[in-house]
Amino acid sequence: MCHVWHSSRKEVRKFMMKRTISGMIGAGSLAHNRRDFVAENVNPDRVQLNICYKNENLKEVYKELFDDATERYNVGKRKDRQIANYYEKIRQGKQEKLFHEVIFQIGNREDMAVGTLEGNLAVKVLDEYVKDFQKRNPTLRVFSCYLHQDEATPHLHIDFVPYVTNWKGKGMDTRVSLKQALKSLGFQGGNKHDTELNQWINHEKEVLAELAKQHGIEWEQKGTHEEHLDVYNFKKKERKKEVQELEQEKEYLTAENEGLTSQIADARADIKLLEEEKIQFQKDKETAEKLVNDIKKLSDEEVELEINEKTTENLNELNINTLEVAKENIIETLNIDTTTEITNINGIKIATLPVSGTISSRYGVSSSIRSSKHTGLDIAANQGTQIKVVADGTVTCASYSGSYGYLVKVDHGNGVETWYAHTSKMYVKEGQEVKAGDVIALVGSTGNSTGPHLHFEVRINGEHVNPQNYLY
């Protein structure tokens, strides 16, 4: 049956159908739009038919739009008057919303229902309409856009951040402003019933109506094309409209409630994870304390001999057992800090050290938890300690990687790569450019780990080398 809609535009216009065109302000439930949960009004068998045009993280969009402007604004300002986080400023403020949502629809469930020939035509028109939306509205930064086909009528959700640049008034020169963003598009506004937003929505409805007309759909504008009604029928029809509006409002409120329920579930999961980490930390602490007590039982003279007569280089050449390695690591009080002398790797300048802490396991040694030689340097530090990238480079991996836990890899060029493993949290993503000293993650104990520490590796042309040759 779909072949009917591929006939010529001239032929289609012979069968012009009249349909309403709706443009309304949405509730802005991003979780509902993404279908992170399925509300009562959603047909789960049709969810896969929804079209996702854009799904970006709102906080990242704010950084893209406003970070440079925030930095310019803060120059020369007292610390208490600086803007630390523009996203949070807007979220907590009352003048502007973080983002806005509009919903566009052709017809209703009676004449353009999903799954029907007419409903499929509505999908086609809405699909054409949305593709030029961002180009037509450059000051409305779209970050989320979905065409839903799993409810009663196909409809389009567009979520955007309105902003203005080169602002000459008080505050930042680039800022969130719906009114100014729409004014820059040519909508000047009038009285309270003729605002910039109303003018813009009506304009977009006209754009949609023109596209619909090309597909045989004539815009039925309410109040101009309706037949004369007697008083009773008029009131009856108006009451029906009110009921529909209330049902729609209920739909959005249900979606918001489901979204909050989902957030609560996520928070409970996070709490459970933290409790498990706390239990594991306590176990690791008890193990470490037991090991320290075992070492204290050794002869003081033996310990003194180990410290004073053996250099680090000589100790590494000895065939020592696992207990002796553990004893050396715990007794050693060498703390890594930013004052340590550093060098370069294969021509790549090492500008900083990854973390401040105590060496807990050296490169090349075996232990009770690993059969093969250690491929890196373990640096014990408190949970949550900042991890810094040692040199400029590009992030090639930022994900969970088996025994490494949460792992960040950075390519520095010239065949040089550094690895940062067992992290609790990562602040970078694959493909991101980083500078020496940038905080890329936090110390943790994920993967095959017995306690909070950083497993740091240096690889040259894919082969791991001793990091101590380059760090101190």
d(CA 418, CA 396): 10
390: closest CA among 324, 346, 435, 334?
Answer: 435
d(CA 358, CA 15): 80
d(CA 472, CA 470): 6
d(CA 182, CA 176): 11
Sequence ranges of the domains in the chain:
2-226, 233-297, 301-332, 334-471
For the chain, first and last CA: distance in Å?
74
- Using alpha carbons, list the distances in angstroms from residue 334 to 310, 320, 357, 359, 384: 15, 20, 8, 7, 21
Q: Please determine, looking at this structure, whether the domain spanning 2-226 carries the CATH number 3.30.930.
A: yes
Conformation bin of residue 149: beta by default, left when phi > 0, alpha when psi is -120 to 50: alpha
Q: What pLDDT does 345 receive? A: 83
Using 50 as the pLDDT threshold, list the residues of the chain that sit under it: 1-13, 224-232, 234, 303, 307, 311-316, 318-341
d(CA 285, CA 272): 20
Q: What pLDDT does 264 receive? A: 80
Q: Are 106 and 212 in contact (CB under 8 A)?
A: yes
Q: What pLDDT does 209 receive? A: 96
Model pTM score: 0.48
Considering the domain 334-471, what is its CATH architecture? Distorted Sandwich (2.70)
Beta pairing, strands 406-413 & 100-106? unpaired
Phi, psi of 452 (to 5 degrees): -60, 125
The count of C-alpha atoms lying within 13 angstroms of the C-alpha of 19, restricted to the half-sphere facing its C-beta, is: 31
27: closest CA among 88, 102, 97?
Answer: 102
Structure tokens at 263: 């957030």
d(CA 247, CA 243): 6
Q: What pLDDT does 288 receive? A: 81
Q: What pLDDT does 325 receive? A: 45
